[in-house]
Every structure is written in structure tokens, then in C-alpha cells.
């Protein structure tokens, strides 16, 4: 089919029209000229098919681009990707997007059960109130250390164990003002440096005990509902 006004528009104008970059006169001509409209449609179809089939044909995958960014690729492949990035605006844009994404952190979400727990690191108190409470334990000649975390005070005493070569560790908790230590009970977890743990229940009066503990340095975590008291570097020595 021939053009109704030969020479009005060039074949390149049809491609520019498809890109939305042709002057208005080209669109007006296409509305009136079935022959040029058919040619434009043929170009459109050619481009459409080729672009769909060849899209990013020689681009590395997003994962490989990311491994380049994280320097996980072998040197030779890294050089190949670097050369590609020099003349691929799409991959260069994706690398930029990846950098921004890796640098960004999500906004804090609702806390999970672990995050809801209030953790207090206990500090060693210089003057332990042994006189007032030691009688409760029946051991005023042992090695007692007193820690404080918030309104809680924790007294830890070590003594001999029934088992040879082991020690006992007794704990007593109380609140300033005399309130209940815990309404629902609680537990004390003693963790060795190697990862082994031992758990003891805390009674209504705030007492707990580990009866056969090997000498060493431990971490102690006292769990009272949503309140956890952490004592680091508990040294048990004979």
C-alpha cells in the first residue's frame, strides 16, 4: 500500500513516532494514510518481538551483579562484569539500586517475644547487705557478692558442694521496698563459657540454688516474667 503523500514523512519518522518522539505532523499523517500506518505497525511488531526476546540478553543476572558488588566473584569474572557495567546503563542502575538497598535497614517492627523482654545488666554493689540477709541463708562465712539491677537486689553465695570438686551457688533475690520478687515464679540459668547451661527454679521467697557446679566463670540470667537480670562474669572458685 502506497503513501497518500509520498515524501511527507521519512521511514525514520515512523520509528520516532513509536518512541513518542516524532513531531505532531507525523501522527496526523498516520491517521490519514493507511499505507504508512501499516508500515509503522510492521516496525512496531518487529521491535516488540525482538525486544521481548532479546531483553537484557547479554546482561549478568541480578545475583551475579550482586556477587560482583560483594566481591565474591573470581577476578576474571569480576573484570568481565566491570567491563559490562561500563556500557550498560540498566545494570549500572541495578548496581546503584542494590547499593542503596544494602545500606538501608527496615523500620523497626513490632517486637517479638525476645525483644519484649526487659533485660537489665546487674552491677556489683560495693557494700553487700550481708548482715541483714545472711542469716536467711545460714551461711555467713561464705563468699557472697551482691548485685543490683533496677529495684532488684541479687545476692550470690558460693559454698562447698556435697560432690567432691564441685561448688554450690545459692542466690537470693529481693525488691527494694519489700515487694514480691515475682508473682509467677521464675528461673535462673547458669551458662558456662563452653555453652552448657543449667537451670534452677526460683521459689516464692526469691531463693534459688545450683548444687553441683564445676569451678569456672559463668554467666547468670535470672528470668522473672518479662524481666531478665543478667549477671556476667560470675567466678566460682574453691
Binding site for another protein (CB under 8 A): 11-12, 14-21, 27, 30-31, 37, 40-59, 61-63, 66-67, 69-70, 72, 87-90, 94, 97-98, 100-102, 104-107, 109, 112, 114-115, 117, 119, 194-195, 197
Residue closer to another protein (CB basis): 76 or 105:
105
Measure the CA–CA gap between 112 and 226, rounded to whole angstroms.
12
Record the cell numbers describing residue 204, joined without a space.
516464692
Measure the CA–CA gap between 60 and 68, rounded to whole angstroms.
10
CB of 25 vs another protein, minimal distance in Å: 12
CA angle 75, 79, 83 (to 5 degrees): 170
Nearest alpha-carbon partner for 66 in 94, 47, 46, 30: 94
CB of 128 vs another protein, minimal distance in Å: 26
List of long-range contacts for 133-136, beta carbons under 8 Å, 24+ apart: 133/172, 133/174, 136/172
CB of 87 vs another protein, minimal distance in Å: 7
| Residue listed under C-alpha cell 568481565 | 80
Measure the CA–CA gap between 128 and 147, rounded to whole angstroms.
8
CB of 218 vs another protein, minimal distance in Å: 14
Residue closer to another protein (CB basis): 81 or 134:
81
CB of 135 vs another protein, minimal distance in Å: 36
Residue closer to another protein (CB basis): 26 or 209:
26
Residue closer to another protein (CB basis): 107 or 162:
107
Amino acid at each position: 500500500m502506497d503513501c497518500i503523500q509520498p515524501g511527507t514523512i521519512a521511514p525514520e519518522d515512523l520509528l520516532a513516532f513509536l518512541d513518542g518522539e516524532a513531531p505532531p505532523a507525523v501522527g496526523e499523517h498516520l491517521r490519514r494514510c493507511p499505507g504508512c500506518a501499516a508500515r509503522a505497525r510492521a516496525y512496531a511488531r518487529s521491535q516488540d518481538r525482538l525486544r521481548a526476546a532479546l531483553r537484557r540478553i547479554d546482561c549478568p543476572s541480578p545475583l551475579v551483579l550482586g556477587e560482583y558488588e560483594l566481591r565474591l566473584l573470581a577476578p576474571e569474572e569480576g573484570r568481565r562484569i566491570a567491563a559490562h557495567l561500563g556500557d550498560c546503563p540498566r545494570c549500572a542502575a541495578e548496581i546503584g539500586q542494590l547499593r542503596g538497598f544494602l545500606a538501608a535497614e527496615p523500620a523497626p517492627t513490632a517486637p517479638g517475644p525476645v525483644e519484649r523482654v526487659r533485660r537489665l545488666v546487674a552491677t556489683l554493689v560495693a557494700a553487700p547487705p550481708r548482715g541483714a540477709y545472711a542469716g536467711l541463708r545460714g551461711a555467713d562465712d561464705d563468699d557472697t557478692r551482691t548485685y543490683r539491677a533496677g529495684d532488684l537486689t541479687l545476692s550470690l553465695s558460693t559454698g562447698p558442694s556435697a560432690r567432691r570438686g564441685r561448688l554450690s551457688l545459692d542466690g537470693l533475690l529481693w525488691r527494694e521496698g519489700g515487694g514480691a520478687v515475682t508473682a509467677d515464679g521464675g528461673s535462673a540459668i547458669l551458662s558456662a563459657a563452653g555453652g552448657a547451661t543449667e537451670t534452677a527454679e526460683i521459689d516464692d521467697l526469691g531463693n534459688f540454688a545450683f548444687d553441683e557446679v564445676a569451678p569456672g566463670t559463668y554467666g547468670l540470667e535470672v528470668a522473672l516474667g518479662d524481666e531478665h537480670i543478667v549477671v556476667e562474669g560470675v567466678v566460682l572458685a574453691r
